[in-house]
Each structure stands twice: as structure tokens, then as C-alpha cells.
Structure 1
């Protein structure tokens, strides 16, 4: 018997509600989740694309070729990696969910335990959940951002490693509006910087969800006057990275990245590096919000990471005509400083989908028949 088609519905006040009625192989699930936000259809006319966005290009004189080496994490130890980051000396890998959302490894990349059990209990999580490490009063902590529960827990990382389970360091989690798509925690002020279905590009809120500041415009917003901010928010989704008082946010569907810094008067945009508009069709239903990405659209930054000196952005530049999996892998990483200046380009000898930076090394996930995590040394410059 045939299964019914997959449906995707976006309504207020929730960022996105996804109903999946087909059963897929694990690899198909991974790329299907990526494709959910893209919804291949026709694009907005780009006759206007002759001005502003061409003033900034991803052109750089200095380029380095990086040769990757395998780690011991491969084969049946991992499935389809959704996230990679170091928390202290531990590598945390977000895998396609089974019973837990994350796998934790030691500094030698030996497997330790699974983290964040999937479920509806008070200390359980839904897919997707995002992690952010930070220091608070000299102790290493981790924020676990669970958007579908509109909740942000704080984990005591030392206790979590000791007990091999998530140990909360706060009795009550930070709460936020369900219109939030992604956020970064600001430990200096105990606030959240987020993107979502907002009139302004960015919103700062306190620990109980009150809005403290809104600022910034969507990339090329003047070219999208007839499109609601909710649909623009769907088109310009992406990822944050933070180091000290500096923050960057990159866009997945088009090569655009913003650089933000903290000042005594609040957060300010330091620089906006906007290269190209995404080609997409917004929802025509006033109560449903989506951004149906054209198959001709060239994708932007698939992942973004940072250290104290630089921001590293994995750039696709591929369209979707040859398949989602090809568009969501790349071997090109652009390097910016925290002032938003493009400095150089890394060219890896392998295609990766996710990566992280630690101790002057780059770790990347290679999505292949035999998936593996590889690493390479970063050049000095």
C-alpha cells in the first residue's frame, strides 16, 4: 500500500511544524530534514540582481590546500552528523537521533557516552537540540537549546562528564518565544541573541523571554518590500558562532554573513558581508510561512565556526539540480577576521558537511558510504 505524501506546514506562532508520513533510510532522513526548509519551486525574479549584492564578492588572493587525515571515529560509530563541537577537551557529535541526540568523546576521540535522551520528560529532549559551551564563574557550562519545547537548559559539564548524563546546573530553564529559530547565549548579561519570525533581523531577550533589544535588517531587505518578515526569516535561516564579545551569523541559503559585537549600550552590527540574494518563493498564505528555494539557487554557508581570532565558514556555492546531498557538502572554507574582513580561503582535499575547530585543527565530517570524521592542521597566517 502506498504511503501518503509528506506534508510541510508553517503557521503562527510556531517557526515550523513538520509532519512526516513516509519512512526513510537514515541517510535519506538527514537530507530530507535539510530539504524541508528548501521546498523546491520557482524563484523570485532576479532581474534586479545587478546592483548591490555584486559590490561584495567572495574573492580572496590567498588560498591554502589542506590535506585531511582520518580519525578513529568512523563506520558504525557514527551515522549522519548534524553538529560537531568541542566542549572543553571533549568532542560532542550530534548524530541522527535514535535514543539520544549526542555522542561524547574524550580528547583522544575515544567514545565515552550518549547525551540528551530523547523524550518528553523534564530532563529529556526533542530533535533538534543545539549546544553552546561557555564559562560561568570559572566553570565550564553548556546551554542545551530545544526549540520545539521553547526551552534552554544549562548543564554543568564537569558533573555531566563525571556521571555520563546531563546534569542541570539551573533548576529552571531559560524560556523564549516559540518564534525563535536559532539563538546564541550571552553569559555576560544572561540574555539570548536570536533570529526568528521577527520584524527586525535580531532580537535580544532576557531569561524569561522579555524583549530587550531588536536591531538590523534582513539581507537585501529593500529588494523584498512585498515579502513579509516572517517569510524572510524562513529564507535567511542559518547559524551563530561566538567568541568572547564577538558574534557572527551566517546564512545557509545564500552567501551572507553578519558580524556583531557587544558594547556598553547593547549589541551592534559591526559589518554585514552580503554577497547574493537567495532565489525563493514565499508563502502566499498569510497564516503560513515558508521559503521555497529554487533548484537554481546557489547555496551559501553550510556551517560556521570560530576561534578567538577568526571566523570559518563552509561555503557551498552549488545549486540543487544535482541533488540535495551534493549541495550540502563542500571543500571550501572562507576565513574572516572578527572585523568582518575576508582574509583567505582553505581548499580541503575532501568534501565535508559539518566541521569544528579546536587547538589549531579542523575536524570535519565526510558523508560517504563509510562515513568518517577527519582532521587537518590549520596553517599559520
Structure 2
């Protein structure tokens, strides 16, 4: 089956693209650079095909352990230990208890890897210290109760921070008691007259990342290239900054035509520049893997990029790096202060080291 489901949530849920004869304007100046010093030198690699890890899409790394998302495999996660050479597979495909359906991103906090399943509405968490223990089972937490429709989530200490089809605020912090706190308006978008429901659909495809102190969160949109940075105050958020890489090419259908069956509230042009593929964060910086590709030119490879744009936690641009390979994911390892990337160049998936 073609690997479409993990690429774009809003394309899955709300439809495809429209033809647009107009050419897209140039990408943000943040992604244009010809300074050779800003190119990463690539060294080392892990051949994932040789490990029988098929169609990987995302990964996170901590020391010698690589947690890899395999959305089309019988098991949704493969954990590779580069010291022992062992590969452990977790979370069988399915919608039952202990199984997983659709994941598009991963997070690493301490020793815990997490990913949100927007098919079941559950957050799965894998302990990198325990995963290889016989009988180990990941922890699943449901977020779909009380009529909520979350599209992305991340653990925030004893609480869970999520985005979704929310009208009371862009972000929701859910406590173990079941209390939900919503905050922050939706970012500025193409049409300020949109309802909050349409805005929530427009900003549906998100990647979330917390700074190490859990005092700030970065939210990167895949479809529109919007980076939203917020500060966390107890159970509420306040926006620090928002960065828009481009103006999205999108059509909003405010009313459902009678007798026409299924309609798509948000429809992207095939010339729309795809936004962020992945985020990696450190104490001081946000590393954003940017696509800038169009469906018209790249089809299902639109979710890959050769550009890493670096911001500080105030949303200020620091620098831009150009990669030699098209990559679908990046991960920052604080232990060696290095960025790693999942290269998809030539349909040969490899984890490569990017030396600053």
C-alpha cells in the first residue's frame, strides 16, 4: 500500500488538492543561502535496509539507541541498538488495545519516546531503558474522550499537551484528573474571517517539541510552514512568536453544497509549498527540517527536505543549513551535541550524521 497516511493529516481527513495555474511565489529568504560554509559535512551512516527496517519515516536517537517509526510495517516501531546490533519491534499494527494505526511524528524526552496515533486518539510511550526487557509493553494513554478530536500530542510532565479540532483554543493541556485547559488563539492565516473550526483544520498537521526545561513548546505545521512558539505557564500557554515561511495556497469551503456528497473544508493547491517535515530541539535552539516542495513536482516525496532552518526559542532566525540528501526526519542528541538525519536519497533509507 502506498505510504500516504503518515504524510499529511489534513489530506487524509479533509481531502486532496486543487489545480492552480498560478506559480507559487519564491520560498522565504530564510531558506535561500549560497554560503558554502553553511553546508553540513555528512559522515557515518546506518543502512536501515540492511537491518530489515522497511519504509522508515521518522526517528529519534539517544546515545546508541535509535527509535524508528515504520508506519507501513507489521510493527509500527523498530528500536535499534547500535552497540549490540539488536532490533526490537514494538506496537503491532491495528486498532485494538496495545496496537497502533497512524503516526506521523515522534518525540524524545529523557528516556521516553512518544508518538501520537491520530487513528485511535492514543499517545504511546516507550521507555528506552526497558524496551528490551522480556514482556515489556509500551504505555498507551487515550485522549479522545469528552468529544475531543486531537491531531497531535506530547507528554508534559504529568499532563499531556495536544492540538486538534479545538474551538476553545489552539492548545489543550489535559490533566490526569480529566480536566482540560485550552489556550492561545490560532496563528494568523490566509483568511482572518475563518471560523475556529476551519482554522483548526487548516493547522491540523503539526509536529510538537518541548524545550528541555518544559517551559516552552514549538509547534511546526506541515502544510503551511508556520512555526508557532509558546511559553508554558502552569496549565496555560502564551504565544512568544510565530514564523510563516510562505503564504499557503489553499481554498476554504465554508458551506457544504447540497447533493454533492463529500466536501473538503480545506483544499490545498498542488503548487502549495509543503512546510516543515520534522523538528529537533536543544536547550538554546529549534532545528526545523523544511521541505519547500510541491505536490505538483514531488508527489508523495513532498514530505522530505534538504534544508534545516535554525531558530532560537524566541523565534529569531539563527542560520540556515543546506543538506546534500533529501531527508524525512532529524534528531538532536545532547550527549554528543550532534544532529542526525534520516536520509531518503535514492529510496535508500539511511541515518546519517550531520557534523556542524
Report if TM-score (shorter chain) is over 0.5: yes
State the Cα distance separating 1:39 from its structure 2 match. Answer: 0.8
Q: 1:118 to 1:273 in 2, by over 3 A?
A: same
Report Cα offsets for 1:183-216 as digits up to 9, x if no partner: 12210xx222221112232222223543213212
Q: Which residue is equivalent to 2:160?
A: 192
Q: Which residue is equivalent to 1:86?
A: 61
Q: 1:260 to 1:164 in 2, by over 3 A?
A: farther
State the Cα distance separating 1:108 from its structure 2 match. Answer: 4.1
Distance in structure 1 (CA, Å) of the matches to 2:96 and 2:55:
25
Q: 1:260 to 1:102 in 2, by over 3 A?
A: same
Report Cα offsets for 1:131-186 as digits up to 9, x if no partner: 43334xxxx33445333222334444422232374244xxx835345411111221
Q: Which residue is equivalent to 1:69?
A: 43
SS in 2 for 1:323: helix
Q: How does 1:103-122 map to 2 (within 5 A)?
A: 103-108=78-83, 110-122=85-97
Q: Is the 8 A contact 1:133 1:143 kept in 2?
A: yes
Q: 1:204 to 1:277 in 2, by over 3 A?
A: farther
Q: Which residue is equivalent to 1:250?
A: 220
Cα RMSD between the aligned structures? 3.3
Distance in structure 2 (CA, Å) of the matches to 1:100 and 1:302:
22
Distance in structure 2 (CA, Å) of the matches to 1:109 and 1:228:
53
Distance in structure 2 (CA, Å) of the matches to 1:232 and 1:107:
43
2:184 pairs with 215, 219, 226, which one?
A: 215
**Is 1:331–2:303 an aligned residue pair?**
no
Q: Which residue is equivalent to 1:241?
A: 209
2:7 pairs with 30, 34, 37, which one?
A: 34
2:117 pairs with 146, 156, 159, which one?
A: 146
Report Cα offsets for 1:237-286 as digits up to 9, x if no partner: 22111122221011112221011122357322111112433211234429
Q: Which residue is equivalent to 1:163?
A: 134
1:285 pairs with 226, 250, 256, which one?
A: 256
Q: Which residue is equivalent to 1:102?
A: 77
State the Cα distance separating 1:290 from its structure 2 match. Answer: 3.9
**What TM-score do the two structures reach when normalised by structure 2?**
0.81
Distance in structure 2 (CA, Å) of the matches to 1:331 and 1:42:
26
Distance in structure 2 (CA, Å) of the matches to 1:129 and 1:32:
8
State the Cα distance separating 1:371 from its structure 2 match. Answer: 1.4
Q: 1:95 to 1:142 in 2, by over 3 A?
A: closer
Q: Which residue is equivalent to 2:339?
A: 362
Q: Is the 8 A contact 2:183 2:238 kept in 1?
A: no
Give 5+ residue unaligned stretches, structure 1: 1-23
**What TM-score do the two structures reach when normalised by structure 1?**
0.76
Q: Is the 8 A contact 2:249 2:272 kept in 1?
A: yes
Q: 1:109 to 1:356 in 2, by over 3 A?
A: farther
Distance in structure 2 (CA, Å) of the matches to 1:285 and 1:252:
25
SS in 2 for 1:161: coil
Report Cα offsets for 1:71-128 as digits up to 9, x if no partner: 2323353322221112564211101332200110114483421111223443222233
State the Cα distance separating 1:65 from its structure 2 match. Answer: 0.5
Q: How does 1:287-366 map to 2 (within 5 A)?
A: 290-358=265-333, 359-366=336-343
Q: Which residue is equivalent to 1:10?
A: none
State the Cα distance separating 1:318 from its structure 2 match. Answer: 2.3
Distance in structure 2 (CA, Å) of the matches to 1:215 and 1:196:
13
Q: Is the 8 A contact 1:262 1:268 kept in 2?
A: yes
Distance in structure 1 (CA, Å) of the matches to 2:174 and 2:263:
25
Matched length:
336
